[in-house]
Structure 1
Amino acid sequence: MKVGYVSPMSIAAVNGGLRTQALMTTKHITSFGVEAKLISPWDDMKAMNLDLVHVFGASIENVGIVDQVKAMGLPLALSPVFFSNRKAAFIKRALKMERLSSAFGSGIRSDFSVKTELCSKADVVIPNTSAEADLIRDGFSIPNDKIQVVPNGVEQKFAEAQPQLFIDTYGLKDFVLFAGQAGAKRKNVIKLLEVASDLDSPVVVIGSFYKDEYGEKCRTLAEEADNVTLIETLDHDSELFASAYAASSVFVLPSQFETPGIAAMEAALAGSKIVITEKGGTKDYFDGYAEFINPDSSKSLLSGIKKALEKESSDTLKNHIFKNYSWQRVAELTANQYKRILA
Structure 2
Amino acid sequence: MKVLYQTRYNIFTRKGGDTVQILKTKEFIEGKFPNIQIDINSDPKADLSSYDLVHIFNMLRPQETILFLENAKAQNKMAALSTIFWRSTEFERQGQMGLRKMVNRLISYDGMERLRGLYRYYIDGEKHEGTSRLIRKGYTRLQREILEQADLLLPNGEGEMELIQSIFEPRMSLNYLVVPNAIDAGIFKCDADSQRDIVLCVGRFEPRKNQLNLIKAFNGLPYKLVLAGRAHETQQKYLKAMQMAIQNKNVEIVDEVDHGELQKLYSRARVHVLPSWYDTPGLVSLEAAVSGCNIVVTTRGTTREYFGDDAYYCEPGNIESIQKAIIDAYNAPYNQRLETRINSDFTWDQAAERTVDGYRLLLSREEQEVGAG
Tell me if structure 2 keeps the 8 A contact 1:164–1:247.
no
CA distance in 2, matches of 1:15, 1:262: 13
Equivalent residue, structure 2, for 1:2: 2
Cα pair distance change 1:326/1:106, threshold 3 Å: closer
Amino acid in structure 2 at the alignment position of 1:35: Q
Once the 2 structures are TM-superposed, how far is the Cα of residue 164 of structure 1 from its aligned partner? 8.8
- 1:280-327 alpha-carbon deviations (Å, 9 max, x no partner): 111111111101111111111111111101111232111111111110
Equivalent residue, structure 1, for 2:265: 244
Cα pair distance change 1:39/1:201, threshold 3 Å: same
Cα pair distance change 1:181/1:124, threshold 3 Å: same
Cα pair distance change 1:43/1:143, threshold 3 Å: closer
Once the 2 structures are TM-superposed, how far is the Cα of residue 159 of structure 1 from its aligned partner? 3.5
Equivalent residue, structure 2, for 1:178: 201
Equivalent residue, structure 2, for 1:272: 293
Aligned mate of 1:203, from 217, 222, 225: 225
1:264-303 to 2 correspondence within 5 Å?
Answer: 264-303=285-324
Once the 2 structures are TM-superposed, how far is the Cα of residue 340 of structure 1 from its aligned partner? 1.3
**Paired residues, number:** 319
CA distance in 2, matches of 1:340, 1:113: 28
Tell me if structure 2 keeps the 8 A contact 1:54–1:78.
yes
Amino acid in structure 1 at the alignment position of 2:266: Y
Once the 2 structures are TM-superposed, how far is the Cα of residue 34 of structure 1 from its aligned partner? 2.6
Once the 2 structures are TM-superposed, how far is the Cα of residue 40 of structure 1 from its aligned partner? 4.5
Percent of pairs with identical residues: 27
Cα pair distance change 1:163/1:225, threshold 3 Å: farther
Secondary structure in 2 aligned to 1:275? Answer: strand
Secondary structure in 1 aligned to 2:302? Answer: coil
Cα pair distance change 1:312/1:106, threshold 3 Å: closer
- 1:210-261 alpha-carbon deviations (Å, 9 max, x no partner): 5633221110112x122111111112x23x2211011100000000000110
Cα pair distance change 1:145/1:80, threshold 3 Å: closer
Cα pair distance change 1:253/1:144, threshold 3 Å: farther
Equivalent residue, structure 2, for 1:218: 242
- Alignment pair present for 1:147 and 2:169: no
CA distance in 2, matches of 1:149, 1:42: 26
CA distance in 1, matches of 2:156, 2:183: 13
CA distance in 2, matches of 1:316, 1:215: 35
Once the 2 structures are TM-superposed, how far is the Cα of residue 140 of structure 1 from its aligned partner? 2.0
Once the 2 structures are TM-superposed, how far is the Cα of residue 113 of structure 1 from its aligned partner? 2.5
Cα pair distance change 1:215/1:159, threshold 3 Å: closer
Amino acid in structure 2 at the alignment position of 1:14: R
- Alignment pair present for 1:61 and 2:75: no
- 1:186-226 alpha-carbon deviations (Å, 9 max, x no partner): 0000111001121121111111245633221110112x122
Equivalent residue, structure 2, for 1:14: 14
Equivalent residue, structure 1, for 2:360: 339
Secondary structure in 1 aligned to 2:48? Answer: helix
Secondary structure in 2 aligned to 1:159? Answer: coil
CA distance in 2, matches of 1:189, 1:24: 26
CA distance in 2, matches of 1:111, 1:258: 20
Once the 2 structures are TM-superposed, how far is the Cα of residue 74 of structure 1 from its aligned partner? 0.7
Flag structure 1 segments of 5+ consecutive residues without an equivalent: 88-92, 99-104, 168-172
Equivalent residue, structure 2, for 1:156: 185
Tell me if structure 2 keeps the 8 A contact 1:153–1:262.
yes
Tell me if structure 2 keeps the 8 A contact 1:159–1:318.
no
- 1:85-141 alpha-carbon deviations (Å, 9 max, x no partner): 459xxxxx978xx9xxxxxx9963333222222122100111112221012112123
Cα pair distance change 1:71/1:160, threshold 3 Å: same
Equivalent residue, structure 2, for 1:101: none
CA distance in 2, matches of 1:43, 1:176: 46
Aligned mate of 1:231, from 251, 254, 263: 254
Cα pair distance change 1:174/1:109, threshold 3 Å: farther
- 1:50-77 alpha-carbon deviations (Å, 9 max, x no partner): 1111001122122222111011111110
Flag structure 2 segments of 5+ consecutive residues without an equivalent: 91-107, 114-132, 365-373
CA distance in 1, matches of 2:352, 2:71: 25
How high is the TM-score relative to the length of structure 2? 0.79
Q: RMSD over aligned Cα, in angstroms?
A: 2.6
Secondary structure in 2 aligned to 1:292? Answer: strand
Amino acid in structure 1 at the alignment position of 2:143: K
CA distance in 1, matches of 2:220, 2:165: 42
